[in-house]
Amino acid sequence: MGKSAFVTIVLAAGKGKRMKDPDLPKVMYNVSGKPMVYYVVDLANRLGSESVIVVVGNKRELVMQYLRETFGDAVLFAIQKEQLGTGHAVLQTEDMLSNFDGDVLVLSGDVPILTEKTLRRFIDAHFQTHAVATVLTARIDDPTGYGRIVRRPDGSVDCIVEEKDATDRQRKIYEINSGIYLFNRKHLFEALHQVKADNAQHEYYLTDVLGYFARQGKRISAVVTEDFNETRGVNTPEQLAELERVFKTNDRN
């Protein structure tokens, strides 16, 4: 495989606790007439992903049936029986990717406005900088509640600091983590086995993988999206309504 070969993991196991319908997985809520996860899987296919693995958990039969009917055999599934964080979700794909020597793109099933143009620029930057990991970021006027991107003098990423752990100086950083990543596969799973769930939620996070890389002196790149709206996710009915409004005004190319 060429140096730009990659597979895509779509995180789609979340419960969506704050949404209106407890029987509907969050990624199955419609935006512009289609479930959010449709746009994410479709984007991965248009980008030329070698394969697309959707990590499912809560009400997974609904997600799997819809994606099989829509995309056929082009989608594979990994099951996360317990939702123990983003790092744990990605770890469920390890056996499926054991013979793949390319890179791994991680997308969120509830972020449907990302464009092909942005992701191609993101993927190109990852390979051009020879990074072990690259994170898609955004700059916003009010970064409250988001993890901040702390950069080194050369522009690479030093760490991602969650707001509750940030210093007063770090809270003034306006560049935030979108939760979209591209990893070297070998180093990704090596790091995931080192990550601990020693946080308030007792979950395993992909941001901790970046911290592990940084401590080892490995290069982590970051690419800023031109439009923060592309990175919008959904946790509440209000956010879903806002995303629907943005979707209708965005040019999704």
Give me the chain's average pLDDT, please.
92
In the predicted model, is pLDDT for residue 130 greater than 50?
yes
C-alpha 217/C-alpha 214 separation (Å) is 5
**How far apart (Å, rounded) are the C-alpha atoms in residues 27 and 42?**
14
CA distance 61 to 155: 43
**Inter-residue contact 130 to 219 (CB < 8 Å):** yes
**How large is the average pLDDT for residues 50-65?**
95
How far, in Å, CA of 169 to CA of 229, rounded?
25
Residue 174's Cβ-side half-sphere holds a number of Cα atoms within 13 Å equal to 6
More confident residue, 16 or 159: 159
* 17 vs 237, residue with greater confidence: 237
**pLDDT level of residue 37 (50, 70, 90 thresholds):** very high
Residues 148, 161: Cα–Cα separation, whole Å: 5
Q: Which candidate in 18, 68, 120, 171 is catalytic?
A: 18
Of 82 and 201, the structure prediction assigns the larger pLDDT to 82
Mean pLDDT of 62-66: 97
Number of Cβ atoms within 10 Å of the Cβ of 249 = 7
Q: How confident is the model at residue 14 (pLDDT cuts 50, 70, 90)?
A: confident
Residue 252 is predicted with a pLDDT of 54
DSSP H stretches of helix in the chain = 36-46, 60-71, 86-91, 116-128, 168-171, 185-192, 206-215, 237-249
Q: Give the chain's domains with CATH numbers.
A: 6-229 (3.90.550.10)
Residue 240 has pLDDT above 70, yes or no: yes
The question of whether 139 is a catalytic residue gets the answer no
Contact in structure between 105 and 9 (CB atoms under 8 Å)? yes
Q: What percent of the chain has pLDDT over 90?
A: 78
pTM: 0.94
pLDDT at 242: 93
DSSP state letters, 205-222: -HHHHHHHHHHTT--EEE
What would the mean pLDDT of 187-198 be, rounded to a whole number? Answer: 90
Per-residue pLDDT of 75-127, as tens digits, reads: 999 999 988 899 999 999 999 999 999 999 999 999 999 999 999 999 999 99
Given a cut of 70, whether residue 2 has pLDDT beyond it is: no
CA dihedral 60, 237, 163, 134 (to 10 degrees): 50
CA 102/CA 202 separation, integer angstroms: 30
Q: Alpha carbon of 50 to those of 7, 44, 98, 153, 178: distances in Å? A: 5, 9, 14, 35, 23
Q: Are 145 and 235 in contact (CB under 8 A)?
A: no
Residue with the bigger pLDDT between 179 and 4: it is 179
